[in-house]
Amino acid sequence: MSDMRSLLRVGSTDPDVPVDLAAIDPNSTPGLPGRKTTGRDPKVWARAELELMGAELATQQEMLFAQATVEPQLGRSVLLVLQAMDCGGKDGAVKRVAGAMNPLGLHIKAFGPPTPEERRHDFLWRIRKALPPAGYVGVFNRSHYEDVLVVRVNGLAPESVWRPRYQKINDFERRLVGAGTTVVKVMLHISRDEQRERLTQRLVDPTKHWKFNPDDLDSRAKWDDYQAAYGEALARCGTDEAPWYVLPANRKWYRDWALAHLLRETFADLNLSYPQPDYDLAAQRRRLEADG
């Protein structure tokens, strides 16, 4: 399999040319081996592989944490930024993929509308406060990108305010990466039909009523505006330092499998290992044995 990152990467060419989301099929499954290769139903196979990858991610995360504990000044962190239209599957992806890792090493933050206090500060203020410390895997369920998405589409701020934010975001992320955080930005891409399906579920299934928000229907009515706003954000902020990936997300089992792959590749680049002890191992063992 070619690596997932090159398959899903967008926006690396011309920042002035928006990413055309309509050209990416939300039902597609890039990188997924076919039934002929695996000999199994793709969904069953992907779910089983996700379990194996989850264990690997947990080990990688532990090494990240261990290294930062032993050498805090060299400690690194990973930040996964998840964006999607409503019902895009962010919560499910957090549960299934981040959920495979140790909760102790996770730093998860969901961003809703800014509070009155947050509104008094620059849009990146609340983001900076939520960044993962060294050794942690951070997950943003929505992010600073809302400030060029919902803010733009709903006219919550004039263009003279949101337009300069692309550059501010790029500067912010470049500094973040320079300081030792690997940033992985993923847009979970669903179709308008799939969103209808999922919204319907939320209205039909009493255990999902709480997830439905009547405002979601207003956002849905602005689907094309959102897709355009996404297209521009992906193009302007899909940088080499902090790339954007568009992950076809109509199929939940593919979504989770592909996201786990992206994270695995990200960890692999970090070349993590368990730290060597800074004490004399043999001497400590002798001490313990002498202790009886």
Assess 292 for contact with ligand AMP (CB under 6 A).
Answer: no
Nearer to ligand AMP, 70 or 131 (CB): 131
Contact map string, positions 176 to 205, toward ligand AMP, x by CB under 6 A: ------------------------------
Nearer to ligand AMP, 76 or 142 (CB): 142
Report what 208 binds from ligand AMP, Mg ion, none; CB cut-off 5-8 Å by kind. Answer: none
Report what 262 binds from ligand AMP, Mg ion, none; CB cut-off 5-8 Å by kind. Answer: none
| In the complex, least distance from residue 111 CB atom to ligand AMP, rounded to whole angstroms | 5
Torsion sign, CA atoms 32, 20, 112, 266:
positive
Nearer to ligand AMP, 49 or 86 (CB): 86
Closest CA to 187 of 82, 262, 112, 89: 82
Contact map string, positions 90 to 129, toward ligand AMP, x by CB under 6 A: ---------------------xxxx---------------
Report what 151 binds from ligand AMP, Mg ion, none; CB cut-off 5-8 Å by kind. Answer: ligand AMP
| Residue in the block written with tokens 């960890």 | 267
Among 79, 151, 190, 247, binds ligand AMP (CB under 6 A): 151
Q: From the DSSP assignment, how many helices (H) and strands (E) are in the chain?
A: 14, 6
**Which of these segments, 68-76, 142-150, 258-266, 277-285, binds ligand AMP (CB under 6 A)?**
142-150
Contacts of 71 (CB under 8 A, 6+ apart): 275
What is the DSSP code (8-state) at residue 107? E
> By Cβ distance, which residue is nearest to ligand AMP?
146
Nearer to Mg ion, 110 or 131 (CB): 110
Establish how many alpha carbons lie within 13 A of residue 194's alpha carbon, considering only the half-sphere containing its beta carbon. Answer: 18
Report what 114 binds from Mg ion, ligand AMP, none; CB cut-off 5-8 Å by kind. Answer: ligand AMP
The amino acid occupying position 75 is: G
CB neighbourhood size of 147 (10 A):
23
Backbone angles phi, psi at 80, to 5 degrees: -100, 120
Tokens at 200, concatenated = 């319907």
For 36-69, letters b (16+ CB in 10 Å) and e give eeeeeebeebbeebbeebbeebeebbbbbbbbbe
For strands 106-110 and 181-189, give the pairing.
unpaired
Nearer to ligand AMP, 71 or 224 (CB): 224
Asked if 181 contacts 133 with a C-beta cutoff of 8 angstroms, the reply is: no
Q: Which of residues 182-221 bind Mg ion (CB under 5 A)?
A: 213
What is the C-alpha to C-alpha distance for residues 245 and 185, in angstroms, rounded to an integer?
6
What residues line the site for ligand AMP (CB under 6 A)? 111-114, 142, 146-147, 150-151, 156
- By CB under 5 A, name the binding residues for Mg ion: 213
